[in-house]
């Protein structure tokens, strides 16, 4: 039996908890977190509920580590679409347009993602758009593939329910899964927070951006973690948009993305503002993001667009990329930046291996 405390209840922590319970029936998992997906509001950073979210791997052609992680995610989400319609993951075509200005900035070279080639490319029907399929005055090229949209809080709640199901009992001595609301200043405190009342064997650190506040993380490590702010609008989808639609423009920190959810709302983003920590959104940003909808995609109906909510989120980036690493009895899993959903299943596979190196009773 291995007693595990997962610190953090974002998509990374919950997916890890689920995989740990599923992998080994003797694992007992407690999630300790200051926020949970069903919370109505959160005063501290909690990124996962704010995301779109889709699968669009950002790995470079050379980055085999992230490619491997994202590949796991692509097939896992396809499996959920097929077999678990209640998970909150919906199949959607993912269509991408590249503006003429972006093409010029890229040195007049078409840039297709790494997954266009190979197995995923075949399985997702990746194809370049024909020139007749877009406005040639604005766009240079485009591509499309079988993608998906995740309804984020709903999906995380589904995963928590799956954890209860695997637990075998919701309470009492037979329960293998528990949730505890709480905040730790140091990861070492979490060893004493296992629901069994006994000392945990392993801690899995899934604190996202707030990892930088943990007092027992090395100062150099803490300084590597930084936010990239995103602002999204949850709107009623009266526009006619049915595909995840992305317009790549020539700005480093802005683009346009639309994620129509099955439930009738749509997420409109985006911006990527490094080290911007404010929750205040300048009205001019909103005008730019929403203005791009009617400029680049006039074929849809943007009149009387009803904005339900404006959401500000902070992507948990880390210099050097993801930290999936074991230090003694602590396994770190954070720094997933703008890719926490698509990478969650692949990261969890790696975490499983690291946790199994510790096990219970080992002298690490
Ligand atoms: C606008 C926007 C759009 C995005 N779109 C996508 C997308 O389309 N696809 C995609 O894959 N990704 C997307 N992302 C990125 C994705 O949302 C993040 O990578 C992911 O949510 C990070 O998850 P996490 O679990 O690491 O962190 P979080 O969701 O922030 O969770 C951290 C958890 O740890 C808890 N915690 C932190 N510190 C402590 C502590 N000391 N004690 C106790 N608990 C603690 C928090 O309460 C929280 O529960 C987007 C992000 C944004 C902002």
Q: What is the pLDDT of residues 212-234, one digit of tens each?
A: 999 999 999 999 999 999 999 99
Q: Is the pLDDT of residue 362 over 60?
A: no
pLDDT at res. 170:
66
CA proximity to 270, closest of 256, 290, 260:
256
Q: Which ligand 1 atom minimizes the distance to the CA of 228?
A: 53
Q: Tell me: the pLDDT tens digits for 77-114?
A: 999 999 999 999 999 999 999 999 999 999 999 999 99
Closest ligand 1 atom to 55 CA? 9
Q: What is the predicted pLDDT for the residue at 363?
A: 53
Share of the chain above pLDDT 90, in %: 94
Query: Is residue 34 in contact with ligand 1, taking CB distance under 6 Å?
Result: yes
Domains and CATH numbers, the chain: 2-50+153-224+319-358 (3.40.50.720), 90-149+226-318 (3.30.9.10)
Residue nearest to atom 42 of ligand 1 (CA): 183
| Residue whose CA is at the smallest distance from ligand 1 atom 14 | 338
Residue 157 has pLDDT above 80, yes or no: yes
State the alpha helices, DSSP H only, in 24-125: 64-83, 100-105, 119-123
The residue-averaged pLDDT of 304-330 equals 97
CB of 269 within 6 A of ligand 1: the answer is yes
**Would you say residue 361 has pLDDT above 70?**
no
In this prediction, residue 41 has a pLDDT band, given cuts at 50, 70 and 90, of confident
**313 CB within 6 A, ligand 1:** yes
Q: Residue 101, Cβ neighbours under 10 Å: how many?
A: 14
Q: What percent of the chain has pLDDT over 70?
A: 97
Shortest-distance Cα residue to atom 39 of ligand 1: 207
SS3 category, 233: strand
* Section 57-74 average pLDDT: 97
Atom 19 of ligand 1, residue of closest alpha carbon: 340
Question: What is the rounded average pLDDT of the residues 160-177?
Answer: 85
The values of phi and psi at residue 224, to 5°, are -80, -15
35 in contact with ligand 1, CB cutoff 6 A: yes
Pairing of strands 330-334, 323-327: antiparallel
What confidence category does residue 42 fall into, taking pLDDT thresholds of 50, 70 and 90?
confident
291 three-state secondary structure: helix
Query: Residue ranges for the binding site for FAD?
Result: 47-48, 207
**Model confidence over 173-194: pLDDT tens digits?**
678 999 999 999 999 999 999 9
**Which atom in ligand 1 lies closest to the alpha carbon of residue 11?**
25
């Amino acid at each position: 039996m291995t007693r595990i405390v997962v610190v953090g209840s974002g998509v990374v922590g919950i997916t890890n908890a689920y995989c740990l319970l599923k992998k080994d029936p003797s694992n007992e998992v407690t999630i300790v977190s200051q926020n949970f997906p069903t919370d109505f509001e959160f005063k501290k950073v909690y990124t996962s509920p704010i995301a779109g979210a889709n699968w669009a791997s950002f790995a470079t052609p050379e980055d085999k580590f992230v490619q491997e992680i994202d590949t796991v995610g692509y097939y896992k989400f396809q499996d959920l679409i097929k077999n678990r319609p209640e998970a909150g993951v919906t199949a959607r075509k993912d269509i991408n347009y590249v503006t003429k200005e972006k093409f010029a900035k890229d040195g007049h070279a078409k840039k297709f993602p790494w997954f266009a080639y190979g197995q995923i490319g075949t399985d997702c029907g990746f194809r370049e758009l024909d020139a007749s399929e877009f406005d040639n005055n604005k766009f240079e090229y485009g591509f499309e593939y079988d993608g998906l949209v995740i309804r984020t809080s709903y999906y995380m709640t589904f995963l928590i329910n799956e954890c209860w199901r695997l637990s075998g009992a919701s309470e009492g001595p037979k329960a293998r899964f528990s949730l505890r609301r709480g905040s730790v200043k140091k990861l070492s405190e979490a060893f004493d927070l296992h629901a069994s009342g006994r000392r945990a064997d392993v801690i899995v650190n899934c604190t996202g951006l707030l990892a930088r506040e943990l007092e027992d993380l090395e100062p150099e490590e803490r300084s590597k973690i930084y936010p990239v702010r995103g602002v999204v609008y949850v709107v009623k989808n009266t526009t006619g948009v049915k595909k995840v639609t992305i317009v790549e423009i020539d700005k480093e920190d802005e683009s346009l993305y639309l994620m129509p959810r099955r439930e009738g709302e749509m997420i409109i983003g985006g911006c990527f503002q490094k080290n911007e920590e404010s929750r205040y959104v300048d009205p001019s940003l909103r005008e730019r993001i929403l203005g791009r909808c009617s400029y680049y995609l006039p074929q849809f109906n943007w009149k009387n667009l009803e904005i339900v909510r404006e959401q500000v989120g902070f992507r948990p980036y880390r210099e050097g990329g993801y930290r999936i690493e074991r230090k003694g009895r602590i396994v770190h899993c954070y720094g997933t930046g703008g890719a926490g959903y698509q990478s969650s299943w692949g990261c969890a596979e790696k975490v499983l291996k690291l946790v199994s190196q510790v096990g219970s009773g080992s002298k690490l």
